[in-house]
Amino acid sequence: MNKSLRIIILVPSFPINVNDIKGGVHSAIINLLHGFLSQDIDVRVISFTKETKKKIFVKFSDRIEIVHEPEGPFPIHSLNYLFVGPFILKRNINEFNPDLIHFQTGNTLKFTKLFGTLGIKTILTIHAFAFEEMKTKTSIKDKLTYWFNGTINELFPIANIIYISESSKNSHLNKKIKNSVVIPNALRPAYFELLPKEKTDNRILYIGVINNRKNLLFLLKVLNQLFKENVIYTLDVLGGFKDEEYKNVINDYLNNSDIKHNVFLHGWIDQSESLRFIAENDIFAITSFQETLPMVIAETMAAGKVVVSTAVGGIPEMIINEQNGFMFNIKDENAFYNILKLLYNNDGLLSDVGKKAKDFATTRYYCNKVAEKTIKFYYQVINS
């Protein structure tokens, strides 16, 4: 009888309470674990965290466990990954005996690989490129942080790569890659199970961090312009501010706008609440300057919602314009305005586009299908 596949997944700061997950890489991991439930695989997720001073085991299923390891005594993540992380990883390797180690993020977490992998093959999922994100940062501190992370990625490459989009693969120029594959992030069944709305009440949803890169101000300006023409949308914003300067910009604009009573800043909320907001809204809007393959687009498409987004990064791989969603150029305020005006009170169009979005998401992002592709790549790397 063949031995079951055994995988260690490495990630920084995975919440001990999964309801505290706020999207991004952590959502991608928890959704992938749901897909692994139906597969012949044993998984240990190792989270390096400052949330606890002692090792904590969380049983996700009979064959999947999450181990929260104290990150270390240093105030800087990179120092903990360099001086403490390798020993933590070695100990877990000896306990779990994995066939493969899967890094779910790169940057300074790669320091744990320098002395800690004991010759076991490694895979990296690239969720974003540090040098690209650096371009959207405004503070010197943030720019230096992302420059440092990007430099680490170049100096300490991992030869086996999972890209989450074709555009991500095409923009990665590293020549030391042995095996690579494009596998989008997974979605768990809960998003697909949300029921469609029978009638629109013109509600728009924004989910994510609020900063200059995400460009919420652009969305607010267009909604304010529409309001003046009696095209009145309600906007729910789920997420938090990254810096006080941008928070002041948004609050100042809202306080002096016509839409201040139609915009609701809810802050970060847990996943169950997020699902409720997705179900209750009609349109998901993303107005970012830069993205890779946003999970929130896949989540809202899976729920049968209409996505209106900037055509950046891997988003054109997700949206077939005017069929399963809408895209526009970030420099074209009129295009975004016209799309929202077209969708206003348009039950038939919202229903038709939403259904096509759901069908597309089911084919590409359902967790079981993503898990199968991931395991196939695991075996490819192990046998190479």
User: Looking at residue 139, what is its pLDDT?
Assistant: 72
| Mean pLDDT estimate for the chain | 91
User: Looking at residue 180, what is its pLDDT?
Assistant: 93
User: Looking at residue 1, what is its pLDDT?
Assistant: 41
pLDDT tens-digit series, residues 12-41: 999 998 878 877 889 899 999 999 999 999
**Beta strands 100-103 and 122-126, pairing class:** parallel
The mean pLDDT value for 305-312 works out to: 96
Q: 11: which strand partners?
A: 47
Instruction: State how far the alpha carbon of 143 is from the alpha carbons of 203, 214, 287, in Å.
Output: 35, 16, 21
The full set of domains in the chain, from first to last, is 5-186+366-383 (3.40.50.2000), 189-364 (3.40.50.2000)
The mean pLDDT value for 221-242 works out to: 96
The mean pLDDT value for 175-189 works out to: 89
Indicate the range of 25-29, 280-284, 346-350 predicted with least confidence: 25-29
Q: CB-based burial of residue 368 (10 Å sphere; 0-12 exposed, 13-18 middle, 19+ buried)?
A: middle
User: Is the pLDDT at 152 greater than 50, yes or no?
Assistant: yes
* Confidence band of 290 (pLDDT split at 50, 70, 90): confident
Q: In what order do the strands lie in the sheet with 326-328?
A: 263-267, 234-238, 203-207, 283-286, 306-310, 326-328
Looking at the chain, the whole-number percentage of residues with pLDDT higher than 70 is: 95
Highest-pLDDT range among 126-140, 226-240, 261-275: 226-240
What is the rounded CA–CA span in Å between residue 256 and residue 277? 26
More confident residue, 306 or 106: 306
Nearest to 358 by CA among 300, 278, 271, 279: 300
What is the rounded CA–CA span in Å between residue 374 and residue 376? 5
The mean pLDDT value for 171-180 works out to: 78
User: Is the pLDDT at 140 greater than 90, yes or no?
Assistant: no
The mean pLDDT value for 317-330 works out to: 95
User: Looking at residue 177, what is its pLDDT?
Assistant: 87
Supply φ then ψ for residue 2, to 5 degrees. -70, 145
User: Is the pLDDT at 96 greater than 70, yes or no?
Assistant: yes
User: Is the pLDDT at 135 greater than 70, yes or no?
Assistant: no
User: Looking at residue 115, what is its pLDDT?
Assistant: 73
* Confidence band of 108 (pLDDT split at 50, 70, 90): confident
Query: Could you tell me if 241 and 213 are in contact, meaning their C-beta atoms sit under 8 angstroms apart?
Result: no
The mean pLDDT value for 45-50 works out to: 96
